[in-house]
Chains A and B, each alone.
Chain A
């Protein structure tokens, strides 16, 4: 059951990314091009995605998920250097490539070799993350 739900949610996520234009790197860098020829499309994507989830969070009160005991509790991690520096690094990579992790996977099936190259680099970054974290953010470790 959990597998089917995950497969369906993944497919719906992928469809949404494809239809909305998030898989088109030109639209993404166009949206980040605030100081140039700004493309507002992604504001509608983000707004459209937040809307159902805003309603969903309100419905979680006093209920439980279908196949789990409880809903995830909000992270009690503080706003720290890791959140700020990590997000700045992610944003820089997003601006360079026009790809964030969801669309990076959604384009693998049809985007061609350059998308696999990006994906491989992203995996390498994910593998290196614990080491970088240990080296530079040790004092922040909880």
Chain B
């Protein structure tokens, strides 16, 4: 399976990029998952709640519709509740403090050659790599 994994990755990646381009040219907005959700959560986007919600409805529904076409859809989620809760808190806090995540800083920022996007990506990849090194290879919980 490894040989074709990269093809699925490339194809899925192109779809993600096209989605970001459609959101940009259609609504004039940056497609950043943490920003779209975060604005709803902290109420900083009162007038845009409808289109943000519509985006999230599409995001949640599409994989459910695709599910029957794929034999393997296990998410291999970590069953350690403490690890999951700590991870969720850090992702929520970090993306709001840094003002972006993989889609906003990574996809939309790097493609614009934005220094903030590129540096944010370097730092979250670095932290992710060190975290997996420590928590998988030393502590064995990831």
Contacts and interface: CB of A to CB of B under 8 A. Distances in A.
Given A56-B21, A87-B123, A102-B101, A2 B51 contact: yes
Consensus secondary structure, chain B interface: helix
B89 A12 contact: no
B91 A125 contact: yes
B41 A123 contact: yes
Contacts of A120: 88
Interface string A73-98: 01101010011111111111111111
A12 B19 contact: yes
A32 B25 CA distance: 32
What size tier do the contact residues of chain A reach? Answer: 35 or more
Nearest to B91: A93
A15 B63 contact: yes
Consensus secondary structure, chain A interface: helix
B71 interface: no
B28 A129 contact: no
A67 B130 CA distance: 43
Contacts of B112: 53, 57, 74
A41 B142 CA distance: 19
Contacts of A4: 54
A57 B17 CA distance: 11
Nearest to B79: A114
A124 B91 CA distance: 10
What size tier do the contact residues of chain B reach? Answer: 35 or more
Contacts of B19: 9-10, 12-13, 16
Contacts of B20: 9, 13, 49, 52-53, 56
Contacts of B86: 93, 96, 121
Interface in B44-77: 50-52, 54-64, 66-67, 70, 73-77
Interface of B: 5-31, 33-34, 37-38, 41-42, 50-52, 54-64, 66-67, 70, 73-79, 81, 83-99, 101-103, 105-108, 110-112, 114-116, 119-121, 123-133, 135-137, 142
Given A5-B51, A14-B58, A57-B111, 16 more contacts: A2-B51, A6-B27, A9-B23, A11-B59, A36-B137, A45-B12, A53-B108, A79-B115, A90-B101, A93-B88, A95-B132, A100-B95, A105-B56, A117-B88, A118-B84, A129-B42
19 contacts: A12-B58, A13-B19, A13-B33, A15-B62, A24-B75, A47-B13, A48-B13, A67-B26, A68-B29, A87-B120, A88-B124, A93-B88, A95-B132, A95-B142, A100-B103, A101-B95, A107-B63, A121-B92, A132-B93
